[in-house]
Homo-oligomer: A and B are copies of this chain.
């Protein structure tokens, strides 16, 4: 994972463009910002902008953090209670997201109204779910159960972000705890033979 100078600079520019895109959209909304505005505010030509991102919305979404191989291995090879290990994975992921709360907040606004941006993010999340689902399959030995668990993982993250955006006094971590409680509660309700 060592990057050449060239690659490093490219990554920085990509980041810079994302920031600029989000900042420009903050008041006007992404729809009312032209790619030309974003490009020149970022100090590149319009043509170069499209060299970094295939479209405006992709620039806004950027490249969300992924689960690392270590995290997936931990899930694969763990031996403790599954729920606890999943929660740990979620905590780690939320910690990564916390480092970029400003971006998260600006992006949240865009996702509410922009269908294309939502679709792009959904694509990343689907990939994430596939990853987690594969790791969990190695652990639990059943494809459908692994897939259902993966959905709980990725929607807990989404849920935590949404709750955090909504409730100003909650930290991302606290929001995750609340959401996870809900996930566990739902599981108990579904698993239990009687309606509680």
Closest beta carbon of chain B to A167's beta carbon, Å: 11
Q: Does chain B have a CB within 8 A of A188? A: yes
B189 touches A140 (CB 8 A): yes
Does any Cβ of B come within 8 Å of A187's Cβ? yes
In the complex where A81-B194, A179-B144, A182-B143 touch, is A149 in contact with B189 (Cβ < 8 A)? yes
User: Which residues of chain B are within 8 angstroms of A190 by Cβ–Cβ distance?
Assistant: 82-83, 86, 149, 152, 183-184, 187, 191
A123 at interface by CB-CB < 8 Å: yes
- 1/0 per residue, CB under 8 A from B, across A155-189: the answer is 10001000000000000000000110111111111
| Residues on B with beta carbons closer than 8 Å to the beta carbon of A117 | 119
Cβ of A147 < 8 Å from any Cβ of B?
yes
Contact pick for A187, options B146, B178, B191, CB 8 Å = B191
CB-nearest residue of chain B to A163: B144
Interface residue? A70 (CB, 8 A): no
Q: Which of B151, B179, B184 contacts A191 (CB 8 A)?
A: B184
The contact of A119 among B80, B116, B149, B151, by CB within 8 Å, is: B116
A sample of 22 inter-chain contacts (CB < 8 A) reads A80-B195, A83-B189, A86-B190, A115-B119, A115-B120, A118-B122, A118-B123, A140-B189, A142-B185, A143-B182, A144-B179, A144-B182, A145-B182, A145-B185, A149-B189, A149-B190, A151-B151, A151-B155, A152-B186, A155-B155, A187-B191, A191-B191
